Structure 1
């Protein structure tokens, strides 16, 4: 264990010391004479490093994949200049011995690449220098300059965009930190590349100057020091100088190409070869090229023996690409691997669908596309209508068959809780008793799943007879859809969550930015706003006018109310919205009130148990529900719209009590009724004072009436 740690420590120290040692070696090459063998090894190493840098640049998917390139370019340039100094020293000191005096690499470049003709070599070097300096280096430098300018100009906007995404919750703090680092690194990279391109340009100019130094210095030393003739000195020293210049210029050209490839790179999931190949892989491109070459080859003066084969090659490439694309499209996708029976996934233990409709096997025809899927179309219409009414997007309904259900049964689940189930018969019709029948028809008695009305399942052939007899006849898909519609309305608060709250606030920001801005500083966190909205939905108050709700919350922000008090205070400020959900604006509001004695008892019960979920004593609660039922059931049978009106003190607790038995009855307070809204008392609960107790030990006392 200790030995392994020591080896790792030594390796880490060696890696950290590699770069300083390399810099010392570069400096040593400039000032210390080296042998031709060391010079040959260094030249080969220089070519190898340049090729490696070029390969890394070509394999990068985006410029930042090679973010160390500016520093690497500087180090490679220094290494090459150090070699130029060392080789110049060797050429001038030992050049009179012959072309082999400066090492095999320089001799090979001077003899093999230029054929021993130093005039040709001089022109070759000049051409390479022009290509490197005028074309590649100048273009890469211009691209680097423009990229650096645009990147720095866009830096504040990118930083603001990251902050906006972070505030909107689209990014985590860690992701935002990583993106800021990436943006800063990108700006630094292009700024460094703008300066690094000057190294390449300076290196090319230095190569030209070093060439003239070697030629002039070699001629002077060869003629005046070593006694060579001018032609001998020219043949030897010029060949060595040109070989040395070419040995340095070719790696410089490779680095210039790498720099140009990096700065002109566009971010892509592929490397450079993959990106170019994907964009040239269209058969139409090669077919067009082949057609143009073919037409060009028909011109008499053109070399048909070269152009026509090129046209044929282009046609062949295009045809092969088209054939490969057709073959790939015809190949069926690979079959998914067989599930591992021992593997348990999250989908096996949870279901992300908030609304679920499970049906028996006999009801599959209602959702079968081949048979029109009547139920699916109705479900889509229900979602659109309820989304408009409730004020938020109702999630999709997942419809699935369940073999554990009886064939004609269905089950509705909201947020994992079963809220409705019944049976329908796909080949029959449901005839609802309207209460005003002319005659009766034969059928299977049942209760309507949605409203609990008396009904019959009758054959489709008896539909016209049932309508003539006064029944309301509906098809099975409508029965299920209506049941689903009422279940979603009753459980809308279960479907509404934090994400829906954020969507409401985002929509508010788009249309009322100042209102949305004042909503958060008022102490309203996202969960608290969501809790308020859910409390309103529980009592079937829609959120479609969220602006009014937000204005009420902003107006109440200075009062430091509890969550329950905030709900009641907001209700009082949006009373007009609540009332219009009960009756149209031009109609008076039918109300059911309590006698003063009953209302005193209700208020006393709430005051005796402040903050309690169920403040009413059991016997008292049962008696209240019984009397409410006697008053409202005739109105419910007449399908009249009305509201049960109570004191603001007991409204919330009374609403919870009434909702358990009469979920369709709206319970409002006197303060929620607008001052200009006409009311009509249709019933009074507790006309005679009941003998009710507040609790096990409480005594009944005469109290003044409270409203």
Structure 2
């Protein structure tokens, strides 16, 4: 711990000890001056902070200062009642305020108490209570706004985390201030009671024990009591004022002095008008002697500020024009044009309400959920989706771009619903014929009146935001591999290294590089396999990376290690997996056609055989449509990746698995054999 930490702890302990241990008058005078100084410093700090959280320790400091003030009151009361003296500071304050009239001193003290208790403290308490309540109520909306800004690319993850922490601290601060303001209120009440005790009990002690006359006792103890009350109320009034300032302070870029001067003097014409009104007021019996100087000051200040503002505005405009010209000509301005967003979602002006939260749009929130869904399903962190309107598009259309190129598009009718038939058409359901963009199913755009009837007819009815989010999810799932580069791979590796440092060190940089890891992950995502289980992927790469640097072959080893995951993804418990198998002749031809080069192994099957295989596969896929399941081809591990190379361009949705990628408890049924004949 640092020295200042010990100082704070020792100081709090000493304050508590002051309540018990008697203090000499000289030391007490020193502590009273210190109390006033600390209160003044706190007030000045609150005037200079730009937002409340810059002085977040204020609630705790308020409690310590209140305890310090009460400890001083107890010590002064002990001296006043026991010795009839409380030091030079209290006596000086008492003589200055009371003067020769005890009644005047008591009235001044009561006015200070009333101002602090009824005006400042009560107002600050109410403001803190309302601020705490509204801050807590606004937290969910602020959190959603942060998520929306992060999803729109306006802020990054670190900035979002910082803003969330600030919101939490702000709620804690106003909640603490709501309770801390009660300390000031209680302190004001305690001060009145202590002054009354000092005055009444002091007079009794002076007359009964010290043999003083009633008039002398009243004079002496009134002076000390009022002096003690004033000494305690001056710092209390400063602290109360600081409390009111800190809870009413809104966030700004400047301190309070600059804000007050800038805003109060922002309309110089008002100063001129006020000066004229004060001058006219001097024509009344008040007289020009009191009003003319103030009127002249206001009018002259108004004209001077107005002239200076005009000059400043002209200089600012010239400076902005100069900066704009320099920025337009600068190389940095041109370089900014080279930036390309990984994922963009553009839409026509008629679809703006879908993304505008003020109009009830929740597209930003849906995209946040899509990012979470893809992270859970594929182990892939979707980059920030840049959302923007584009007047060049049709009003009701939208498009999805990856790395600047369009990969999908669609059209929505905002005031309609998309209804998809369960397979049996209902002729009574009328609408605008269309195609569901995510899966290419025939559908109808129906209005609100037809929605209930369509649902009763077992149609699947979804609203336009759901159509967009489903389409975006499927597009991102199909193109996830395009968004995993070396930078994204390095981020995944860094995340894995936090928990498995030895595993990462066993793979990177030897025997494999980040680029090799990236190629393996891309190969897995291309075939819609999750890369979330990075520990198993790296264990496999650590085992086989010493044997080969061929990333396609390493991918096959990783797939076999992920056999349980692949089995769960492509099979249903309790059901038989229906597959196509490759004929022995076709597998032999594929094996014989593998061409090995220094850049990797490739399939070099002759054109006639390739054409015949694809023709036979097309025929099998047409028959497969009646089975209501995705096509699956099962082959030996040695030819799986080459069979994939053969079919992926023409049949990208066909899943090709090897025998080693299925668990032994899976029941497989062959419904056909794919051959080259």
Identify the match of residue 263 of structure 1 among 242, 247, 251: 247
Corresponding residue for 1:55? Answer: 44
Gaps of 5+ in 2: 324-329, 356-360, 387-398, 413-434, 441-470, 483-522, 527-588, 608-613, 619-648, 652-674
Matches of residues 313-392 of structure 1 in structure 2 within 5 Å? 313-331=297-315, 333=319, 347=331, 351-354=335-338
| CA distances 1:539-577 after superposition (whole Å, capped 9, x unpaired) | x9985769965445777999999989999xxxxxxxxxx
Question: Does residue 114 of structure 1 match 2:98?
Answer: yes
User: 2 CA distance for matches of 1:328 and 1:245?
Assistant: 51
Over the aligned positions, Cα root-mean-square deviation in angstroms equals: 5.0
Aligned equivalent of 1:292, options 273, 277, 288: 277
Whole-Å separation in 2 of the counterparts to 1:327 and 1:63: 34
Q: 1:610 to 1:291 in 2, by over 3 A?
A: farther
Pair 1:216–1:175, CA change in 2 (3 A): same
Shift of 1:103: 0.9
Q: Tell me if 1:199 matches 2:188.
A: no
1:66 aligns to 2:66 (yes or no): no
SS of structure 2 residue aligned to 1:500: strand
CA distance in 1, matches of 2:4, 2:345: 54
| Residue in structure 1 matching 2:74, options 68, 85, 90 | 85
Which of these two proteins has the greater Rg computed from alpha carbons? 1
Write the distance in 1 (CA, Å) between the matches of 2:402 and 2:178: 60
Rounded Cα–Cα distance in structure 2 between residues aligned with 1:529 and 1:203: 55
- What SS is found at the alignment partner of 1:351? helix
Residue 113 of structure 1 and its aligned partner are, at CA, apart by: 2.8
Aligned to 1:26: 15
Q: Deviations along 1:584-637, whole A, 9 cap, x unmatched?
A: xxxxxxxxxxxxxxxxxxxx99x9789999x999xx9xxxxxxxxxxxxxxxxx
Q: Superposed, which structure 2 residues align to 1:627-706 within 5 Å?
A: none
Tell me the equivalent position of 1:40. Answer: 29
The structural deviation recorded for 1:42 is 0.5
- Report whether the alignment pairs 1:94 with 2:83: yes
TM-score by length of 1: 0.52
The residue aligned with 1:15 is 4
Out of 128, 132, 147, which is 2:112 matched to?
128
CA offsets, 1:125-167, max 9 Å, x none? 0011111111111111111111111112222332333344445
Contact 1:110 / 1:116 at 8 angstroms: preserved in 2?
A: no
Partner SS state of residue 335, structure 2: coil
Q: 1:558 to 1:542 in 2, by over 3 A?
A: closer
Provide the residue aligned with 1:234 in structure 2.
218
Count residues in correspondence: 430
- Shift of the alpha carbon at 1:116? 3.8
Counterpart position of 2:492: none
Using the TM superposition, give the Cα deviation of residue 64 of structure 1 relative to its aligned residue in structure 2, in angstroms. Answer: 1.0
How far off is 1:68 after superposition? 0.6
When normalised by structure 2's length, the TM-score is: 0.54
Distance 1:533 1:335, change over 3 A: closer
Cα offsets for 1:511-533 (capped at 9, x unmatched) = 99699777965869758999x97
Q: Distance in 1 between matches of 2:285 and 2:136?
A: 54
* Alignment correspondent of 1:142: 126
Q: Is the 8 A contact 2:282 2:291 kept in 1?
A: yes
Compute the displacement of 1:281 (Å): 2.0
Note if contact 1:214-1:237 (Cα within 8 Å) is conserved in structure 2: yes
Alignment of 1:272-283 (within 5 A): 272-282=256-266, 283=268
Distance 1:529 1:566, change over 3 A: farther
Structure 2 distance, partners of 1:326, 1:169, is 38
Is the CA contact (8 Å cut-off) linking 1:137 and 1:197 kept in structure 2? yes
The alignment partner of 1:112 has SS state of: helix
> Structure 2 CA distance, aligned partners of 1:286 and 1:52?
32
CA distance in 2, matches of 1:260, 1:124: 22
d(CA) in 2 for partners of 1:233, 1:190:
47
Distance 1:561 1:102 in 2: 80
In the alignment, structure 1 segments of 5+ residues that lack a partner are 1-11, 96-100, 338-345, 355-414, 416-495, 568-603, 621-645, 651-668, 672-703
Decide whether the 8 Å contact of 1:515 with 1:550 is kept in 2. Answer: no
TM-aligned CA distance change 1:353 to 1:142, over 3 Å: closer
Q: Is the 8 A contact 1:140 1:197 kept in 2?
A: yes
Aligned-partner Cα distance in 2 for 1:37–1:150: 48
Q: Aligned partners of 2:319, 2:159: CA distance in 1, in Å? A: 35
